[in-house]
Amino acid sequence: MRSALKRMRHAARLLVGIVLASSAFTGAAHAQDYDNPTIGQNPVVAQPADYKPLGIRAGSFMLHPGVELAAQWNDNVFYTPENTFDDFIWHVRPYITAQSTWSRHSFSVRLAADFAWYSDYSILDYEDYFLQIGGTVDVASQSLFSYGLDWMRLHEDRSVRSADQGISPTVYTVAGGFLGYDHTFNRLSVGLLYNLRSLDYENARRPDGEIIDNSDRDRTDQDASVRLGYQISPDTQVFGTAGWRDVEYDQQFDRNGFDRSSDGWYVNVGVDWLITSVLSGDLYATYRSRSYDDPSLPDTDGWGLGGSLAWMPTTLTTVRGMISTTIEDTTQSTASGYLRTLYTVRVDHELLRNLQINGQVSYYQNDYTLLPDAPEGSRDEDTMWRFGVGATYFVNRWMWLSASYDYSSFSSNAQNDDFESNVAWLVLGLER
C-alpha cells in the first residue's frame, strides 16, 4: 500500500510539472516560456463518474477522440496600456488520446491542436500543435521508471514582456522529454529525474515591416536532479532535492552582444504529508542560482518557496493552492535574467451532480537582475494579478458546456507597459 501511494505521488508530481511547464487553459496564459493551453483537457478538476466519456476500446488501449469549439472575447487583444482594441476569437481544438489498459506498466499518446481565428485582427490568428508520449515501467515492486517525449508548435502570447514582440504572434517549437526513476528502500526513497528541452523561435515582424530576428533565442535547456525522501510516519515524508540546470544558446552572442548561455543549481528542502483526511500537500524552501558565460552578466539567484496543497472541506468542494519559484531567461538588454514567484489558489465546487463552478486567483512577480550600468528606469520588476470564475455543465457522457471570465492586471516599473484585460469564454466540448 505504501509503495502504491508513493508511486501515485510521483506520478502526480510529474503531471504537475508538465502542466506548469505548459501553462494554463481557460483564458490566455501570460508571460510563460512555454505559453501553451492544455488543449483537449476538460476545464474542471474531475468529472463525476457517471458523466465521464466511455471511450473506444482498441485492443489493449482506450481511445478518447474529442473536440472543443470555443468563442472568446478579449477587450485588449494587443495588451496595451491605452487605446485598447477588442475582438472575438473563434477556436477549434481537436484532440485524441490513447491510454493503455495493461495490468502492469502504462503508455499514453496525446495529439491535439488549437486553431484560432480573430474576427477583426486576423494578423493575430495562430495554430498550435501538441504531441505527447509518456508512460511508466514497473521495474520491480519498489521501483518505477517513467518517461515522456513531447513536441509542441506554439505561439508566444502578446502579453509576454520578457522578449521583443512583433505585430503577429511569435511562433516557436519545443521538443524534448524526460526520464525518471524512483526506488524505495523501506522508509528511504530515491528519485532521479532528467529533463531536456530544445526551443526554436521563428522571426517576427514589427508594425513598420522591420524583421525581428529571433534566432538568438534558440537554445537547449537541460535539467537533472536527485530527490531523497524519508518516511518519518505513514503520512509524512521529509525530502531534499538537489539539481543542476544548463542552458546553451545556438548563437554565442545575442542581438545585444551578450553570451547568455548559463548553468546553475538549486536545492529544495521540505515535507510531503497527509495533514488530515481532507488536507494534504507538500511545501519546500528553495534556493536557486544561475551563472552566465558572459562575465558582464551578473548571476541571478534567490530564495523562494514551492509546493502545493489540496483541501476538501466538504465532499463537494476542493481547494487547491500552488506556489513556485523559478529562474527565467530574458532578451532585455539591461538584465541577465529574472526570478519568478507564482502563487495560485483555485476552488472547485459541485453545485449539482452535473454542474461545477470554480474560482481562481493567481499572482506572479518577476524580479530582474539588472546589469551594473543599467540606465535608470530599466525594467526591474513585473507583477500580474489574475482573477477568474467559471462553470461547467455536463450534458451527458460525451458533451459539456463551460463559461468563464478572467480579469488580468499587469504592472511594471517600465514606462507605458501596464495593461488590463477582460476575457470571456464559451466552450462546447465533445468527447467519445
d(CA 406, CA 162): 22
pTM, entire model: 0.85
pLDDT band at residue 46, thresholds of 50, 70 and 90? Answer: low
What CATH code is carried by the domain that includes residue 362? Answer: 2.40.160
Strand partners, 431: 66
- Provide the residue type at 107 as one letter: F
What is residue 38's predicted lDDT score, i.e. its pLDDT?
36
d(CA 117, CA 127): 9
pLDDT at 2 over 50: no
pLDDT at 8 over 50: no
What is residue 277's predicted lDDT score, i.e. its pLDDT?
86
The residues, ordered by sequence, that sit 6+ positions from 109 with a Cβ below 8 Å of its Cβ are: 97, 98, 131, 132, 133
Look over the chain and give the mean of its residue pLDDT values, rounded to a whole number: 87
Task: At 10, give phi and psi (nearest 5°).
Answer: -65, -45
- Contact 278/284 with Cβ under 8 angstroms? no
What is residue 141's predicted lDDT score, i.e. its pLDDT?
81
For 370-391, write each residue's pLDDT tens digit.
Answer: 999 989 888 999 999 999 999 9
Bridge-based pairing state of the strands 126-140 and 399-412: unpaired
For 160-177, write each residue's pLDDT tens digit.
Answer: 776 777 888 899 999 999
Q: Cite the beta strand spans of 157-299 per DSSP E.
A: 170-185, 188-201, 204-205, 211-212, 219-233, 236-249, 262-276, 279-292
d(CA 27, CA 422): 9
For 71-95, write each residue's pLDDT tens digit.
Answer: 999 999 999 998 899 999 999 999 9
The mean per-residue pLDDT over the stretch 252-278 comes to 93
The mean per-residue pLDDT over the stretch 175-203 comes to 95
Tell me the residue range of the domain where 247 lies: 2-431
d(CA 14, CA 32): 19
The mean per-residue pLDDT over the stretch 136-157 comes to 92
In this structure, of 43-52, 72-81, 100-109, 257-266, the range with the lowest mean pLDDT score is 43-52
What is residue 162's predicted lDDT score, i.e. its pLDDT?
64
When divided into structural domains, the chain yields a total of 1
Q: How far apart are the first and last CA of the chain?
A: 33
- Of 416 and 423, more confident: 423
Percent of the chain with pLDDT over 90: 73
With 0-12 / 13-18 / 19 or more C-beta atoms within 10 angstroms meaning exposed / middle / buried, residue 352 is exposed
For 15-31, write each residue's pLDDT tens digit.
Answer: 333 333 333 322 222 23
